[in-house]
Chain A
Amino acid sequence: MTASPLHLMDAVPAHLPGPVVQFTDVRKRFGRVEVLRGVHLTIARSRITAILGPNGAGKTTLIKCLLGLTRPDEGMMEVGGRSPALEPAARAAIGYAPQAPRFPDNLPGRRILGMLESLRGSPGVGADPIFGCFGLEAELDKPARTLSGGTRQKLSLALALAFRPPLLILDEPTAGLDPVSSGHLKDRLRQERAAGTTVVLTSHLLGEIEDLADDIVFLLDGRVRFRGSLRHLLAITGEPRLERAVARLMVMEGGR
């Protein structure tokens, strides 16, 4: 294992519509702390890619740079050749579910959905089956302040998925979900991948990543230390499970 990441072959048929996500020398510093130290990364289209790393490795900052929420000091991020940070219209290709979603206290989910529909110019997405799978129909008319943490999480995921964007970015998507909803989410993500959607997710639940992800990106101290398929990661570390493989990677890279 070397410091430079393994290059991944994009083995997905060319007709699938998911975009390639490209990071070029992305650097970000918060005060004295350099969170991203020159990230070069290509995320293959129409696959599920999990970004892993210990706390403070830069996972959320990397995602926020891609979404345009955080401005990098240097570097470029592109989704299908366009920059979501610089071109607001390019963000129509992205569905995003944050780690701890909150909505305006006084408004019901249906009003929030309606607002996103009007901003994205995509009416009628409320008919998407994901709302039924998550049991959200009855919750959509209640003010958001009355929703539990898990229901807010489901609403946030449904809002990201229902627009059927070609790129999904999910930050800890199953944290707070009950096992049934978690199962529905995984099924839906597999369907999305089959339809050509590119999925990027972060999670601390490694069993879940093993279950879902095609590719792994391992971040440590603001740099990409591994990029490749899950199978390849297990092969080069000689470990049978992802949890042990990640621990081995950290030892190999001199991390914590």
Chain B
Amino acid sequence: MRAAVRILRFELDDVRRSRAVLAYGLLLLTITEAVLRFGGGGPRAVVSLLNVVLILVPLVSVVFGTMHLYGAREFTELLLVQPVGRGSLYAGLLGGLTLPLCLAFLGGVGLPFAWHAADGAGSGAPLATLLGAGVLLTVVFTGLASVVAIRFDDRAKGLGTGLLAWLALAVVYDALVLFVITAWGDYPIEGPLTILSLLNPVDAARIALLLQLDAPALLGYTGATLSHFFGTAWAFVAAALALTAWTGLPAWAGWRAFRRKDF
């Protein structure tokens, strides 16, 4: 455990000095500032930032995570020959990668809301949900990055697979849901469709956010059925739980792969 904390602090030190993480934080800060300045505050700003969180955060997490872990491959080998267990090393590496990205996200999105609070930009629970969803999606997608970076020795193959995973979860999955609705819309498919939506972390984050914003027009089919099934409060809990459960899955898969990996 102490070794994991040492490696975590070391990785934090490395990643926080990365220009890419700084650029990511500044990009989010610029977008959020622009939205608050020109689009008005409150829940409307949160809705405007919805797609930034759902598309950009997973994309940056998976691309930066994969590139960083490939870049650290030789140094990871050097750490593996130190008196440190593989579990501590994996925890330190993944934590050191994820935390700076989470902090860049929280700073980039949270700071403009903080300094516009006096103008009535603060929007309480929806903002907290937006920030929470962004952090959880960062954890999910850096975990996915760790799985592909460990499984594939070829950097190009790993990055390609990471991008495919992002595309599948952030874009293609919705197309699949839409196809199911169009093809079998006449049948009572609300139940399976709800489960299908919760199985995707990006959809679970979208549903949690829209339920919190109380924006039924934006909920779409699956969100509406979820809300109908559980009631808005419980639907939010179900979506948030699904997203939280997702955070553990890639990290666990990454750990299993790391434990057995031949370097």
Main secondary structure of the interface of B (DSSP, over half): helix
Given A64-B263, A69-B262, A70-B262, A98 and B78 contact (CB-CB distance below 8 Å)? yes
* B18 contacts chain A at the CB level, 8 A cutoff: yes
Residues on B with beta carbons closer than 8 Å to the beta carbon of A103: 74-75
On whether A104 and B82 interact (CB within 8 A), knowing A64-B263, A98-B77, A118-B6, the answer reads no
Asked whether B84 lies within 8 Å of A69 as measured between CB atoms, the reply is no
B83 touches A91 (CB 8 A): yes
In the bound complex, residues from chain B placing their C-beta under 8 Å from that of A64 are 262-263
Contacts of A159 in B (CB 8 A): 78
Contact A102 B81 (CB under 8 A): no
Encode A55-98 as 1/0 by CB contact (under 8 A) with B: 00000000010011111000000000000100011111010101
Query: When the two chains form their complex, are residues B74 and A102 in contact, meaning their CB atoms are under 8 A apart?
Result: yes
A96–B263 CB distance below 8 A: no
Q: How far is the CB of B65 from chain A (nearest CB, A)?
A: 15
**Which residue on A lies nearest to B17, using beta carbons?**
A106
Q: Is A111 an interface residue (CB 8 A)?
A: yes
What is the total of A-B residue contacts with beta carbons within 8 Å? 78
- A67 to B79, alpha carbons, bound, how many Å? 11
Considering the chains assembled together, what is the distance between the CA atoms of A58 and B12 in angstroms? 36
In the complex, chain A residues whose CB is within 8 Å of the CB of B73: 102
* Closest-CB distance, A164 to chain B (whole angstroms): 15
> Hey, which chain B residues are within 8 Å of A111, CB to CB?
10, 13
Residue of A nearest to B16 (CB): A106
Is residue B3 contacting chain A, with contact meaning CB distance below 8 A?
Answer: yes
Instruction: Kindly state whether residue B156 has any CB partner on chain A within 8 Å.
Output: no
Indicate the member of A30, A69, A71, A96 with the most B CB atoms within 10 Å.
A69
B23 is an interface residue with CB less than 8 A from chain A = no
Contact with B along A100-140 (1 / 0, CB 8 A): 11111111000100011011100000000000000000000
Chain B, residue nearest A95 (CB): B81
Q: With the chains together, A122 CA to B79 CA distance in Å?
A: 15
CA A77 to CA B95, docked complex, whole Å: 32
| Known contacts A101-B74, A107-B17, A119-B3; A69/B10 CB under 8 A | no
Instruction: Tally chain A residues at the interface, Cβ within 8 Å.
Output: 33
Q: Contacts of B14 on A, CB cut-off 8 Å?
A: 104-107
Measured between beta carbons, the chain A residues less than 8 angstroms from B17 are 106-107, 143
Is there contact, CB below 8 Å, between B80 and A92? no
Q: Does B72 contact A (CB under 8 A)?
A: yes
Q: Contact at B263–A91, with CB atoms within 8 Å? A: no
Once bound together, how far apart are the Cα atoms of A105 and B75, in whole Å? 10
- B contact residues around A30 at 8 Å (CB): 262
Do B81 and A68 touch (CB < 8 A)?
Answer: yes
Q: Which of A64, A88, A156 has the most CB of B within 10 A?
A: A88
Residues from chain B with Cβ under 8 Å of A67 in the complex: 80-81
| A156 to B66 alpha-carbon distance, docked (Å) | 25
Question: Closest CB of chain A to B203's CB: distance in Å?
Answer: 35
| Complex contact B262–A96 (CB within 8 A) | no
A102 to B79, CA, bound (A): 12
Q: Are B83 and A102 in contact (CB under 8 A)?
A: no
B residues sitting closer than 8 Å to A (CB atoms) are: 3, 6-7, 10-11, 13-15, 17-18, 71-75, 77-85, 260, 262-263
